[in-house]
């Protein structure tokens, strides 16, 4: 059985514990590789390696660092098929999705920041007759990046790329549920000639390896993407140590459909925003609110399309949905479907597991699920399910739908469908969310601020926001 290794100080190392964690292929339910079960000793080694590398890396010109990071982007692009197959196998997502979204985006994350750092400028403020202020932006030092399982390499690189180009040395931990493409990335970095210790990838459990990163006094900033409960715990630990924190957390995003929208475009995009990646994207619209005049029409068309959606093994090119990431997660999603029924919900489509033929018969497959007849205040409509489960609810007025949309503790993203210009602006303006799409979904410009409000997080990623997060500003005044 293949054993993954930590990437520390440019070397591929076994975990100091000598222990490994099983890595499952969700499409078959079989263990197919072993992940280092790292602990604080491995993190300590990574910190020492990062400390050693910091003077060289932070002392390089931004342009040189950018060029080096571009080589990493090129290294992934050159091994596209290998990365695509690995991501699909590790996560259960359709190969087609990994090919069109995950891996190209990981390449873009590196390319984008390789270029962005060359354009990153600092501010100066002149006080007439008094003097000049100029602000320098220096790397923080050693930073920690922790990412989740749903978009493994995509979200891992979204943090690592800006952290590295800004001149920091990085300790990074991918999710223990989907570590494989991060492991491949370490090989790409080694071959691209990234100096030893600049990026260190430590595999293992959140409560052990992740926790060791968060509590380490020499790790000066933590960029975390994952669940809200974990984010809360990290904030509680890191805040008293005065670490910089970026927290990208859960969501329960509303998808608001007005009667005057372009119905066909809305319907096909709503299929994606509901069920892409098996509904396991933090930006999926899991609460669908439909204006009453088109509620029945929408319901009929949406249910018909959902019933026809192909759930299959991830290597099947026809698959629109693959496997759920893990058995415990599938069980969690199923338990929410049961809860929805207890709360009075009517399952219009799905609601059950899919039995696949061998060798996929022990894999974790769920039917895309639509539920109606639930109050917006119930747990099914308030808690993050993070699977292929959506609820549909009719509404009559803008005021009413805004109340329902803004009623959860989350505030990550929202989608609005209308052809009425002023209504689009009005509703977008009043939504409590960090990101709003009007008449589309998941269009991403890497320059824009990315993140949520309320329990969906603190801080923003993307563009200058990320480069600002990973640098420390210093204002210097000079008397005229
Ligand atoms: P999770 O919080 O369980 O784990 C995320 C990462 O944190 C993993 O690498 C895990 O090992 C690590 N971790 C766990 N406990 C830790 C601890 N005590 N200290 C340090 N690290 C620890 O989340 P998950 O189940 O992997 O991901 C799903 C969640 O992520 C969902 O809630 C989803 O909405 C959210 N998410 C948010 C965004 C966003 O941009 N806002 C994007 C993707 C996913």
132-160 tens-digit pLDDT: 999 999 999 999 999 999 999 999 999 99
Tell whether domain 253-446 is in CATH 3.40.50.1110.
Answer: no
Confidence band, pLDDT 50/70/90 cuts, at residue 162: very high
Specify whether the CB–CB gap between 271 and 306 falls below 8 A: yes
List the Cα angle 353/359/361 in 5-degree steps. 20
How large is the average pLDDT for residues 45-54? 98
The C-alpha R_g of the chain, in whole angstroms, comes to: 23
In terms of Cα–Cα distance, which of 480, 466, 471 is closest to 135?
471
Which string of b and e fits 246-267 if b means at least 16 CB within 10 Å? Answer: bbbbbbbbbbbbbbebeeeebb
Q: Residue 218 in 3-state DSSP?
A: coil
pLDDT of residue 195: 98
pLDDT of residue 209: 98
- Side-chain-side CA neighbours of 275 within 13 Å: the count stands at 27
pLDDT of residue 328: 98
Q: Is the peptide bond before 221 cis (omega within 30 degrees of 0)?
A: no
pLDDT of residue 172: 99
Nearest CA owner, ligand 1 atom 8 = 175
On average, the pLDDT of the chain sits at 98
What does the block give as tokens for 58?
Answer: 């932070």
Specify whether the CB–CB gap between 325 and 281 falls below 8 A: no
The string of DSSP codes covering 441-469 is S----TTS-B--SGGGEES-BSHHHHHHH
- Ligand 1: atom nearest CA of 204 is 11
213-264 tens-digit pLDDT: 999 999 999 999 999 999 999 999 999 999 999 999 999 999 999 999 999 9
What sign has the CA pseudo-torsion 446, 203, 4, 226? negative
* Ligand 1 binding residues, C-beta < 6 A: 146-150, 155, 173, 175-176, 206-207, 210-211, 214, 225-227, 230, 233-234, 248-251, 282, 384, 386, 412, 452, 456-457
pLDDT of residue 343: 98
Active site residue 248: yes
Active site residue 372: no
Q: How far is the CA of 292 from the centre of ligand 1 (A)?
A: 37
Q: Which of 169, 189, 261, 282 is catalytic?
A: 282
What does the block give as tokens for 50?
Answer: 């990062």
Specify whether the CB–CB gap between 416 and 256 falls below 8 A: yes
343-392 tens-digit pLDDT: 999 999 999 999 999 999 999 999 999 999 999 999 999 999 999 999 99
How large is the average pLDDT for residues 61-74? 98
Cβ-count burial of 398 within 10 angstroms (0-12 exposed, 13-18 middle, 19+ buried)?
middle
**Placement of tokens 């109050």 in the chain:** 375
Q: How far is the CA of 461 from the centre of ligand 1 (A)?
A: 16
Q: Where exactly are the structural domains of the chain?
A: 2-249+456-479, 253-446
Long-range contacts of 443-450 (CB under 8 A, 24+ apart): 446/108, 446/109, 446/112, 450/248
Q: Residue 31 in 3-state DSSP?
A: strand
403-421 tens-digit pLDDT: 999 999 999 999 999 999 9
Distance from chain centroid for Cα 53: 28
- Ligand 1: atom nearest CA of 205 is 11
75-90 tens-digit pLDDT: 999 999 999 999 999 9
- Ligand 1: atom nearest CA of 149 is 26
- Fold for domain 2-249+456-479? Aldehyde Dehydrogenase; Chain A, domain 1 (3.40.605)
How large is the average pLDDT for residues 198-219? 98
DSSP assigned state of 99: I
Total-model pTM: 0.97
What does the block give as tokens for 141?
Answer: 């030092």
pLDDT of residue 269: 98
Mutate which of 174, 206, 249, 283 for ligand 1? The one with the most ligand atoms within 8 Å of its CB, which is 206
430-465 tens-digit pLDDT: 999 999 999 999 999 999 999 999 999 999 999 999
| % of the chain exceeding 90 in pLDDT | 100
How large is the average pLDDT for residues 194-203? 98
C-alpha–C-alpha distance, residues 152 and 106, integer Å: 9
Mutate which of 158, 227, 409, 433 for ligand 1? The one with the most ligand atoms within 8 Å of its CB, which is 227
Residues 150, 152, 153, 154: what is their CA dihedral angle, to the nearest 10 degrees?
A: 20
DSSP assigned state of 366: B
pLDDT of residue 386: 98
- Ligand 1: atom nearest CA of 213 is 20
Query: Residue 6's beta-bridge partner residues?
Result: 13
Nearest CA owner, ligand 1 atom 39 = 248
């Amino acid at each position: 059985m293949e054993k993954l290794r930590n990437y520390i100080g440019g070397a591929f190392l076994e975990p100091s514990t000598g222990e490994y964690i099983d890595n499952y292929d969700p499409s078959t339910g079989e263990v197919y590789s072993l992940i280092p079960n790292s602990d604080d000793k491995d993190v300590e080694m990574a910190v020492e390696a990062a400390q050693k590398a910091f003077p060289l890396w932070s002392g390089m010109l931004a342009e040189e660092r950018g060029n080096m990071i571009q080589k990493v982007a090129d290294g992934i692009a050159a091994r596209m098929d290998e990365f695509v197959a690995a991501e699909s196998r590790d996560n259960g997502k359709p190969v087609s999705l990994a090919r069109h979204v995950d891996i190209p985006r990981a390449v873009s994350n590196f390319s984008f920041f390789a270029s962005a750092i060359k354009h990153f400028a600092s501010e100066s403020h002149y006080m007439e007759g008094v003097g000049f202020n100029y602000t320098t932006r220096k790397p923080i030092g050693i930073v920690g990046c922790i990412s989740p399982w749903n978009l493994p390499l995509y979200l891992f690189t979204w943090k690592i790329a800006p952290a590295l180009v800004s001149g920091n040395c990085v300790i990074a931990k991918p999710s223990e549920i989907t570590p494989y493409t991060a492991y491949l990335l370490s090989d790409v970095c080694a071959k691209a000639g990234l100096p030893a210790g600049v990026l260190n990838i430590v595999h293992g459990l959140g409560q052990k390896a992740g926790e060791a990163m968060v509590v380490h006094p020499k790790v000066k900033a933590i960029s975390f993407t994952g669940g809200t409960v974990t984010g809360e715990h990290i904030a509680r630990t890191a805040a008293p140590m005065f670490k910089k924190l970026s927290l990208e957390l859960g969501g329960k995003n509303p998808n608001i459909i007005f009667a005057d929208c372009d119905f066909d475009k809305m319907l096909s995009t709503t299929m994606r925003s509901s069920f892409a990646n098996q509904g396991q994207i933090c930006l999926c619209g899991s609460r669908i609110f439909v204006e009453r005049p088109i509620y029945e029409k929408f319901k009929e068309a949406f249910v018909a399309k959902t019933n026809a959606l192909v759930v299959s093994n991830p290597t099947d090119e026809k698959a629109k949905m693959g496997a759920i990431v893990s058995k415990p997660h599938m069980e969690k999603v199923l338990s929410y479907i049961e809860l929805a029924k207890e709360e009075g919900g009517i399952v219009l489509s799905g609601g059950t597991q899919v039995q696949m033929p061998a060798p996929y018969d022990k894999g974790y497959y769920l039917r895309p699920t639509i539920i109606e007849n639930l109050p917006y205040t119930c747990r099914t409509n308030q808690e993050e399910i993070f699977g292929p489960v959506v609820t549909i609810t009719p509404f009559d007025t803008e005021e009413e739908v805004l109340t329902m949309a803004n009623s959860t503790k989350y505030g990550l993203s929202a989608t609005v469908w209308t052809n009425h210009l002023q209504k689009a602006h009005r509703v977008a303006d009043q939504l409590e969310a960090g990101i709003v799409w009007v008449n589309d979904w998941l269009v991403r410009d890497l320059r824009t601020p990315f993140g949520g409000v309320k329990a969906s997080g603190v801080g923003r990623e993307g563009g200058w926001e990320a480069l600002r997060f990973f640098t420390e500003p210093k204002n210097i005044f000079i008397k005229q």
